[in-house]
Amino acid sequence: MFPLSETTLRLLLIAVLALPLLGSGAALLPAPPGLRGAGGPERDVLRHGVTVTGAVLAAALLLAAGFDHGQPGRVQAETDVGWISALDVRLHLGVDGISLPLLVLTALLTFLCALHAYVRPPGGGDPRAFVALMLLLECGTLASFAVLDLLLFFLAFETVLVPMYFLIARWGGAQGTPAGRAAGEAPDAAGDPADPAADPGDSAEDPADSAGEGTPGRAAGGAAAAAWKFVLYTVLGSVVMLLGLLLLGLDGGTFDMVALAAAHGEGLSHTSQLLAVLAIGLGLAVKAPMWPLHSWLPDAHTAAPTTGSVLLAGVLLKMGTYGLVRIALPAAPEGMRTFAPYLGAFAVAGILYGALACLSLVREGAAGDLKRLIAYSSVGHMGFVLLGIATLTQTGVNGALFANIAHGLVTGLLFFLVGSLRERTGTTDLDRLAGAAGAALYGRSPRFGGLLAFAALASLGLPGLAGFWGELLAMLGAYQPAEGLSRPAYATFLALAALGTLLTAAYLLQVVRRVCMGEAGQQPLPDLHAPEYAAFSPLAALTVLAGLCPALLLDLTGPAVRGLLAGVAG
């Protein structure tokens, strides 16, 4: 949009990665005298989180503005210096049309999370540690979208684990539902929005119980167990992925993603392509998550605090699909072609499974948890992303990348809203929330209810909102998959995916019916207040924008995807 020199862009990208890392370290130190506010050290450090993530967002937006939109297929803001010559690891950074939107999305969501944490201080532990972990998480996710070296990608992938583990285990679970409140009637339990609803003493980790236990999971309740599940699944996936990356790098002769993508699998034997795609795909499929490797996700989402859920759904899941597009697709096209139909089948299974799980959760008397429901809906949405990738076509992969961003925006918004709902009503349990009559949010809290309905509609893929284009393009790709792929198989996938969209619409409308509608006359709930507007409106606005002007994103990803797919089409 406005020209910045390549050096400026490079520095901006380095700043985007370095700021959260430095900020994470700084969060653990006491605040310097000039930065001490009236609210005490806890407010200071939360404000520090807002400042740093805000600076990162500003740098990311500036980077996006300075990005040469005429050549989105070219890697820009490129830095390439040697680091560990023994392992051929180079600090190779850069952005192109595929990574830029994800980078901005990550910066935006983390900033909104920091803002949310500032308004609603997280209960359950030291806020210094919370901010440090959140910034470390941001660094890892941003890095995984910006690095162009296989081993650095692995490093970024692993960096995310420890902070996310602690965010779920320490700040998750019982946050926001003090024992007395959770047991009471939902309408009576309306929390005062001015009062941080979390009770530190009621955090999931009861020290007296858990210290002596052999398995911390059991002692510390659901949160720690969910955190364990998250870490073990992801680590298992990522070490297998590392094997694939090593195979790819050693057989391909370089660990540089750009060089590997340019080679389009030349010099790699068929066997090593197959093995590499299998190993890398498995690792990324755990993260994405692909059915049947998804089972860590609902637990992690349900247990995580709002910040954790938003970042997990909005950003972390994208690392899996991004890796498939960035590494497996261009570097081992033959392997991808072999495995694409299987990927498609699993993707469709995920779409249907996610939708059916949600349908069963939304039934009356199923004691379905809203967070769990959104988590399962993520499995379905990521199924569309994987289906788009599995078509190996320009249309499908572009759709996948679009759906990636859309899912980040919409699901991020949904998790924020559900977090706020829990602050208001003390529960996310659908039965307790809605009962038989419905929670009637339209009447009790009109703007809040309206926004929730908006997010649900965006999630089901209403035309004109962000969710629509990605799924449409993914299915369009499946209608005409890449040459050499079985047309009938993909036609079946298409039909099943279409059925999945119907089921998705069914459960999301059910959610709207049960949560937003209901009998009038119930006690009103506080409506949206200023900080919530600030946190939610950017996501809502971008959802509308992406729905009305999909070209904004597709023009960025299109040329870059064409370059990556050159090997598959041939």
Partner 1 sequence: MNALQDVDWPALGPPLIAALAAVAVLLADLFLPPARKGLLGGLAVAGLVLAGLSLLPLRGADRATFCLAADPGLCSYRADEFALTVQLIVLGGALLAALLSLPETGPASRHPAAPHPASGKAAAGNGAAGKETPGTGAPKRDASGTGASGGAGEGSLPGGEFWFLLLCSACGATLLPAARDLATLVVALEITTLPAYALVGLRRRGPGPEAALKFFLTSVTATAVGLLGISFVYAGAGSLHLSEIAERLPDADPRLATLAEAGVVLTLAGFAFKTAAVPFHFWVPETYVGAPLPVAGYLSVVGKTAGLAGLVLVTTGAFPGYGGLWGPVLAVLAACTMTAGNAAALRTPAAAPDGVVRLLAWSSIGQAGYLLVPVAAAAYTAPGDALGALLGYALMYAVTNLGAFAVAAHLARRHGARRLADYAGLYARQPGTALALAFFLLCLAGLPPGLAGLFAKVAVLRSAVDAGLGPLAVVTALNVALALAYYLRWTALLFRPAPAGSPAPPRPVPPLAAATALCALAGAAFSVAPQLILGLAPGVLR
Beta bridge pairs of residue 429: 369
The whole-angstrom separation of Cα 555 and Cα 469 is 13
Closest approach of Cβ 154 to partner 1, in Å? 7
Options 147-155, 182-190, 288-296, 432-440: segment touching partner 1 (CB under 8 A)? 147-155
Q: How many H helices and E strands in the chain?
A: 26, 2
Closest approach of Cβ 407 to partner 1, in Å? 26
Closest approach of Cβ 176 to partner 1, in Å? 19
Can residue 216 be called a binding residue for partner 1 (CB under 8 A)? yes
Among 29, 211, 495, 548, binds partner 1 (CB under 8 A): 211
Backbone angles phi, psi at 524, to 5 degrees: -65, 155
Q: Which residue, 89 or 485, is less far from partner 1 as judged by CB?
A: 89
Give the burial class of 375: count Cβ atoms within 10 A of its Cβ; 0-12 exposed, 13-18 middle, 19 or more buried.
buried
Q: Which residue, 243 or 566, is less far from partner 1 as judged by CB?
A: 243
Among 182, 243, 263, 505, binds partner 1 (CB under 8 A): 243
Closest approach of Cβ 369 to partner 1, in Å? 25
The whole-angstrom separation of Cα 4 and Cα 540 is 30
Tokens representing 231 are 């870490």
Can residue 208 be called a binding residue for partner 1 (CB under 8 A)? yes
Q: Which residue, 296 or 442, is less far from partner 1 as judged by CB?
A: 296
Closest approach of Cβ 366 to partner 1, in Å? 33
Among 103, 117, 146, 247, binds partner 1 (CB under 8 A): 247
Closest approach of Cβ 79 to partner 1, in Å? 17
Can residue 379 be called a binding residue for partner 1 (CB under 8 A)? no
The HSE-up count of residue 144 (CA atoms within 13 Å, CB side) is 30
Among 89, 93, 280, 358, binds partner 1 (CB under 8 A): 89
The whole-angstrom separation of Cα 35 and Cα 235 is 39
Closest approach of Cβ 284 to partner 1, in Å? 15
- Tell me if the bond preceding 292 is cis, omega within 30° of 0: yes
Can residue 242 be called a binding residue for partner 1 (CB under 8 A)? yes
Can residue 165 be called a binding residue for partner 1 (CB under 8 A)? yes
Closest approach of Cβ 422 to partner 1, in Å? 23
Can residue 287 be called a binding residue for partner 1 (CB under 8 A)? no
Instruction: Select from 338, 297, 300, 304 the least CA-distant residue to 320.
Output: 297
Closest approach of Cβ 278 to partner 1, in Å? 11
Closest approach of Cβ 166 to partner 1, in Å? 7
Closest approach of Cβ 233 to partner 1, in Å? 9
The whole-angstrom separation of Cα 105 and Cα 57 is 9
Report the phi/psi class of residue 11: left, alpha or beta, with left for phi > 0 and alpha for psi in -120 to 50.
alpha
Can residue 267 be called a binding residue for partner 1 (CB under 8 A)? no
Among 120, 170, 181, 432, binds partner 1 (CB under 8 A): 170
Which run of H or E residues covers position 368? Answer: none
Closest approach of Cβ 42 to partner 1, in Å? 16
Q: With beta carbons less than 8 A apart as the criterion, state whether 494 and 475 touch.
A: yes
Residue with tokens 């010559």: 85
Q: Please name the amino acid found at residue 263.
A: A
Backbone angles phi, psi at 255, to 5 degrees: -105, 10
Can residue 293 be called a binding residue for partner 1 (CB under 8 A)? no
Among 180, 207, 267, 524, binds partner 1 (CB under 8 A): 207
Q: With beta carbons less than 8 A apart as the criterion, state whether 351 and 496 touch.
A: yes
The whole-angstrom separation of Cα 308 and Cα 415 is 9
Can residue 213 be called a binding residue for partner 1 (CB under 8 A)? yes
Options 97-105, 231-239, 288-296, 348-356: segment touching partner 1 (CB under 8 A)? 231-239
Residues 177-206 touching partner 1, rule: CB under 8 A, are: 205
Q: DSSP secondary-structure letter at 570?
A: -
Q: What stretches of 22-88 adopt beta strand conformation (E)?
A: 76-84
Among 228, 339, 448, 490, binds partner 1 (CB under 8 A): 228
Can residue 91 be called a binding residue for partner 1 (CB under 8 A)? no
- Helix 127-146 × helix 161-171 angle, to 10°: 150
Can residue 210 be called a binding residue for partner 1 (CB under 8 A)? yes
Which run of H or E residues covers position 561? Answer: helix 551-569
The whole-angstrom separation of Cα 75 and Cα 274 is 27
Q: DSSP secondary-structure letter at 369?
A: B
Options 9-17, 101-109, 163-171, 420-428: segment touching partner 1 (CB under 8 A)? 163-171
Who's near 85: CB < 8 A, 6+ residues apart?
none
Residues 119-138 touching partner 1, rule: CB under 8 A, are: 129, 136
Q: How many residues bind partner 1 (CB under 8 A)?
A: 43
Options 49-57, 162-170, 180-188, 447-455: segment touching partner 1 (CB under 8 A)? 162-170
The whole-angstrom separation of Cα 416 and Cα 110 is 12
Count Cβ atoms below 10 Å from residue 4 Cβ, excluding itself: 19
Can residue 240 be called a binding residue for partner 1 (CB under 8 A)? yes
Tokens representing 530 are 């200023």
Among 154, 416, 448, 493, binds partner 1 (CB under 8 A): 154
Residue with tokens 């699998």: 265
Q: Which residue, 124 or 191, is less far from partner 1 as judged by CB?
A: 124
Backbone angles phi, psi at 77, to 5 degrees: 55, 40
Can residue 250 be called a binding residue for partner 1 (CB under 8 A)? yes
Residues near partner 1 (CB under 8 A): 83-87, 89, 129, 136, 140, 151, 154-155, 158-159, 161-162, 165-166, 169-170, 205, 207-208, 210-214, 216, 224, 228, 231-232, 235-236, 239-240, 242-243, 246-247, 250, 275
